[in-house]
Structure 1
Amino acid sequence: MSLMFKSLHITLVLFLLTVICGSFLVSAQSYYPASEISHWQMKWQEGPGDSGRKIPLTETEGWMEVGAKTEMPQMPPGVSSAWTKITLPSYSYAAPSVYIDAIYALHVKVYVDERLIFENDRSFIKDNYSLLVPLEMMDNGKTMYIWTETMKDRIGIKDKIVVGEHSVLIKDYIKNGLIDVILGGAFVFVAVVLFVCAFYLNKEYFPVAASLAIVIASTGVLSITYSPFTYTFYSYLGPVSVVFFDVALLSLLPSLTFLFEKIFGGGKFGIIRSFRKFESVYSLFCILCLIVNTLSGDRILEFYYFVSTKILGIIMILQFILLIACVIIFSLKRNKDAIIFAIGFGTAALTGVTELVWYYVKGGNYDLFYWKWALVVFILSLIVILGRRLAQNHQQVVKYSRELELFNNELQRSEKMEIISELAASVAHEVRNPLQVTRGFLQLLSEKSNGDERRYLFMALSELDRAASIITDFLTFAKPEFEQISLLNVDEEFKHIQSILLPLCHLNGGKMILDVEDGLWVKGNSSKFKQALINIIKNSIESLGDEGTIQLLAYGRGDKVHIHIKDNGVGMEPAVLSRLGEPYFSSNKTKGTGLGLMVTFRIIEAMEGEIRFMSKKGAGTESITILPRAEGPDDSNSLLA
């Protein structure tokens, strides 16, 4: 039932909107086009006046001609009010109205001949009016008198006057300044979100994010409270809006300088920091004057207007010039943040300075308009800079995390090797002696035995030999240093290794291809060097299938010798490849202890080299060993470029 009621309600609303919009469209098409009034007359009211009660119907002197495309007349000294006389055109509108986009005054009264049709009196110092005044059919061709009074330096109608249908003019009347409110609301929303997110950042970035949030929020409040829309439709909020405008402006300037200081530093001789402190003190002074003026009922309004508008405008111009100069200097140093800041702030500063200068040239008869759109570009540049800083911080954290992970893995590997070394040093020699004695007696018994008994003894001897090999590996860890270091000819070492392992390779159905560059020398222990390479090649042989191939390649590059051992065996998965060299980890062999490759890593490390593996499941494995290159014995094969 509730769902049905909601559906009927939505349908009714849509129907009414369709009818209303349709009527607007039909009426707009049927109405006569609006008429523009581009010329009128204006007369200064000298002396105390009569608050606009005495209409100058019969006065013919003192009137001056004013046009929509000409500059507004400058107020003479001692004058605070004026009359404007407008001759209404002939019209045939069903619901006529007169629309004035901007008229400067604090107090306004509108008459048609002697009939008062509009009156407004503002108690706050915001003099930009937007008027839509309904007319009657009998007002056709009559004279309209507008009385205006102000405490500021400008008064009168700024632009053209339009007479037309009320339903058509009201659209322009509503839209006047509405986009400023929407833009300002978006700024405030973004600032609130950014300020909340700032609490989740580290302490280094919190001041930057918080000051950026204040800059964005102040800009939003300025856009809302500067818009004529606010004072036209919510005039009862006028005094509060003026206060918010001043507070936002006084917060924007020091927070902007503080943000600049946080991004680029205090500047040469600390000029940016000093200017920021001056702005902060001056803003606090202006806020104090605002409080005193509000509590005293605007008794120091003129003084407050002078310090918060005249002097503050000059400070803003100086601030923009200072920051622009600093941005140019930083940009010349190829600072990317400065370049981004220069684009955004340069757009805002140049626009703001231009409009402020034009405001003073016009004697206050100019409404700042383009500054808010320039600030959009500036705020976007600030967000980009903050985003870049956070992205760089994230990349740095990721880099540190990876380095920490590598360090942790290396530390675990070192601890494991240290444990094995200590174990080998304390146990290996003690275990080897009884093993050798046991092997000797078993060998004597095997010579006197026959049949199954002899076969069992041979199996025992084989296992004792394997245990002795494992102990030898342990001793390699316990003492990786070489007892005897000599110059090794890589070609000769490989030929010796090939002669040892070639039968095993043929037995497994594979073949071995040797390609070693002449004149390659390294420093190390021959037996340990052979042991390291034999361990790698044996693993390659055991991984071969039918018609497998092992390629042995060695060549020199600068001061390094590169040794490649590549097979087309079963290969390994990435998870297995990453654990090669770990104690007790065997890649593919069920009976392996994992000590062979660990010994190889230790030997290569002792030779001040490095080794790495590349493998793909089903495509084989390749090991790359890089060792320091040594000079040959006759200096004829010294380091090549």
Structure 2
Amino acid sequence: MKNVPKAIIVLWIGLLFFMVWPLGTSAAAVQENNRSIPVTMWEIKWGNVNDQGFISEISGLDDVWERRGSGRMDYESSGQPTQSLWTRLTIPELNEDSPAIRFENIKGQHIVMYLQDRKVYENYHYNYDNNAVLLPLNQSNSGDRLYIWSENSNGRLGIQGTVEIGRYTVLQEKYIHSGLLDVILGATFLFTAITMVSCTFFFGKFHKGLWISLCVVMGSIGIMIITYSPFLYTFYQNQGNLYSVLFDTAMLSGMPALCYFFEQIIGRGPYGVFTKLRKFQLVYSIIAVLALSVYFASEGQVNLLYVILVQKGNGIVLVVLLTLLMIGTVSKAMQKNREAIMLAAGFGTFALVSVAELLWFYQRGGAYHLTWWKWSMAAFIVSLIAILGSRFAEKHTKVIEYSKELELFNNELQRSEKMEIISELAASVAHEVRNPLQVTRGFLQLMTEQEDHINKGYVRIALEELDRASDIITDFLTFAKPEFDQIASLNIAEEFDHIEGILVPMANLEGGKITTDIPPNLWIRGNSSKFKQAFINIIKNSIEALQGQGQIDIWAYAQDGIIKVHVRDNGEGMDEEALHRLGEPYFSNKIKGTGLGMMVTFRIVEAMNGQISFTSTKGVGTEAVVSFAEFVS
């Protein structure tokens, strides 16, 4: 029984082996069947000037064919340059069920193919001379001759790249893949640009110029990548001339937008060079688009300006433009401009690759197929989006800051309106109330002399409450009219000597201690009595917050023309809510407090063109900072 599990394991391993082994054999067989046969040898014959690609043009001329092989391009004959070339090869023995032959690239604007004497393929590429061809075959074509006639006004002729024979489905996958990735990349840029354009209506004037220019650049790049891809020319070859026109139009439209974007990022440049470059590029693009339109409308009959401005000059202008923009971007980045650094990184990659490829293209006489610029463009687009995104983020941060400032201004406005209402109320009521109080107090004092001992206690309490009411009215009057009749130069140290004389005994009774550190040469302009009243209110609150023991530190100093006076205690402190409400009328932490004392303090400091701020932590203490403009005699 103990060997049963082991036997089961061995049985399962055996079953898996017999199940997997046929799969491995099948996979190997499939791989073997999918293997393509390369074609490395063929023959060529140069065509005549009047060749039209008819098979009858080469009949009976088997003795003039030249043997060629892969890896060699044929540009012109040994004699006079020609615009057409015949290529022939022999189809080997075909064992596949659905065979086909794939040409990676045949150079020519017009391609015609014949199997024996039967036309099997024809393709027009107009201004584009890279042709990927997949030709279906059958087993009966074994040993047949395949004739290829190619014509090219640029003189670039011959087979370039791989030629292979294999299963149709396998070669079709390679065939479709050729250029499809370019279409996907270009479509991504184009779709993104269209989506961004649809968002333009929600921005108002907020960076609309930069946003639209970025959309135009991205859309132009997307169209250029799509229309430059061999995929369209391979599957939709009848519209080859339209693709060429779209490519040129997209390039001519994107270049002014690119100049505008750079001008907004790196500035006008020395002597306004980048502004002038943008204007020149705009004029050049307009004239070139008009020349392109005339060429297209005349079906190629009127082509002088098109050849000069679009086919010949546009590439040169693009090289100069990219070089100048790169120089300007690098110089701006060297000034540690963050946006210029991002732009230099993305645009530098694109510009260097594009200029290198264009120079190599011209050096090869147009025989080079531009490839890498499309992928370097992705880095450039990412940098443009990053720059615009950083600007949006910066604006968003500013909006948040402005919102906070607006909230503070709104709170200050509400406080000012509230104070104004209280001032008017205090001014209108205080005088009317004070006179009856004084009369009442006088009569109570007269009654004190006539009343017995018991009633004298009640009269004394009534007099104390009348005095407290009088003090409240005095505070109201001070708040309502903080202007000072007597303005003088005040020495901060001397003023605090008087304040100490009043409050030190009170602090000692409460178990606290007051220390001062004020230099003797600090001067401000203000009213002495009101100055003392404001700081007495502040220090009295600190004494009452000590709750039997503690320390009050007072110090002052001058800084950048401002005198700052600090009053700090280690009392009970305040929470955040109480700190924000400090100075509001009728708000107080004290049981019998009215809040008017601190309200008057704020009003006095404000009338002396000063500022007051409080910081406090519950259970730690409170610190008041009062700032005044320094007076220099």
TM-score between the two structures when normalised by the length of structure 2: 0.84
**For 2:197, which of 195, 200, 215 is the aligned residue?**
195
3-state secondary structure, aligned to 2:377: helix
Q: How much has 1:441 moved relative to structure 2? A: 1.2
**For 2:82, which of 79, 84, 93 is the aligned residue?**
79
Contact 2:124 2:238 in 1 (8 A): no
AA aligned to 1:600 is T
Q: How much has 1:108 moved relative to structure 2? A: 1.7
* Residue number in structure 2 paired with 1:325: 327
* Residue number in structure 1 paired with 2:336: 334
Q: How much has 1:354 moved relative to structure 2? A: 1.4
Measure the CA separation in 1 of the matches of 2:316 and 2:549.
85
Measure the CA separation in 1 of the matches of 2:361 and 2:291.
24
Q: Which has the larger displacement, 52-61 or 354-363?
A: 52-61
Contact 1:497 1:530 in 2 (8 A): no
Note the alpha carbon deviations across 1:148-184, whole angstroms, 9 max, x for none: 1233442332222122222222211111111111111
- Summarize the Cα distance change of 1:488–1:119 in structure 2 as closer, same or farther, 3 Å threshold: closer
**For 2:211, which of 209, 216, 220 is the aligned residue?**
209
Measure the CA separation in 1 of the matches of 2:253 and 2:449.
102
AA aligned to 1:250 is L
Contact 2:186 2:225 in 1 (8 A): yes
3-state secondary structure, aligned to 1:611: strand
**For 2:37, which of 35, 51, 55 is the aligned residue?**
35
- Summarize the Cα distance change of 1:216–1:534 in structure 2 as closer, same or farther, 3 Å threshold: same
Percent identity for Structure 1 against Structure 2: 40
* Residue number in structure 1 paired with 2:484: 481
Measure the CA separation in 2 of the matches of 1:432 and 1:578.
32
- Summarize the Cα distance change of 1:81–1:518 in structure 2 as closer, same or farther, 3 Å threshold: closer
Measure the CA separation in 2 of the matches of 1:548 and 1:153.
103
Note the alpha carbon deviations across 1:184-238, whole angstroms, 9 max, x for none: 1111121122212222224251111011101101111111111111222233444
Q: Which has the larger displacement, 424-433 or 438-447?
A: 424-433
Contact 1:488 1:526 in 2 (8 A): no
Note the alpha carbon deviations across 1:9-28, whole angstroms, 9 max, x for none: xxxxxxxxxxxxx9996764
**For 2:130, which of 104, 128, 131 is the aligned residue?**
128
Q: How much has 1:617 moved relative to structure 2? A: 4.1
Measure the CA separation in 2 of the matches of 1:28 and 1:298.
51
AA aligned to 1:375 is M
Structure 1 unmatched runs, 5+: 1-21, 506-510, 634-641
AA aligned to 1:602 is R
Contact 2:94 2:138 in 1 (8 A): no
Alignment of 1:134-173 (within 5 A): 134-140=136-142, 143-173=145-175
* Residue number in structure 2 paired with 1:512: 512
Contact 2:93 2:143 in 1 (8 A): yes
3-state secondary structure, aligned to 1:54: helix
AA aligned to 2:361 is Y
Contact 2:55 2:117 in 1 (8 A): no
Say yes or no: does 1:492 pair with 2:503: no
Contact 1:32 1:93 in 2 (8 A): no
RMSD over equivalenced CA pairs, Å: 3.5
**For 1:103, which of 97, 103, 106 is the aligned residue?**
106
Measure the CA separation in 2 of the matches of 1:176 and 1:25.
26
Contact 2:489 2:631 in 1 (8 A): no
Q: How much has 1:145 moved relative to structure 2? A: 2.4
AA aligned to 1:536 is I
AA aligned to 2:624 is S
Measure the CA separation in 2 of the matches of 1:26 and 1:240.
46
Alignment of 1:25-424 (within 5 A): 28-31=30-33, 33-54=35-56, 56=58, 59=61, 63-64=65-66, 66-74=68-76, 79-88=82-91, 92-112=95-115, 114-116=116-118, 118-122=120-124, 124-140=126-142, 143-203=145-205, 205-300=207-302, 304-421=306-423, 424=426
AA aligned to 1:349 is A
- Summarize the Cα distance change of 1:74–1:457 in structure 2 as closer, same or farther, 3 Å threshold: farther
Size of the aligned set, in residue pairs, is 603
3-state secondary structure, aligned to 1:315: helix
Q: How much has 1:421 moved relative to structure 2? A: 4.7
Note the alpha carbon deviations across 1:41-87, whole angstroms, 9 max, x for none: 43320220242323647645655565543455257866221112335
AA aligned to 1:341 is L
* Residue number in structure 2 paired with 1:17: none
Say yes or no: does 1:613 pair with 2:614: yes
Say yes or no: does 1:440 pair with 2:442: yes
Measure the CA separation in 1 of the matches of 2:195 and 2:223.
15
Q: How much has 1:142 moved relative to structure 2? A: 5.4
3-state secondary structure, aligned to 1:33: coil
Measure the CA separation in 2 of the matches of 1:450 and 1:74.
140
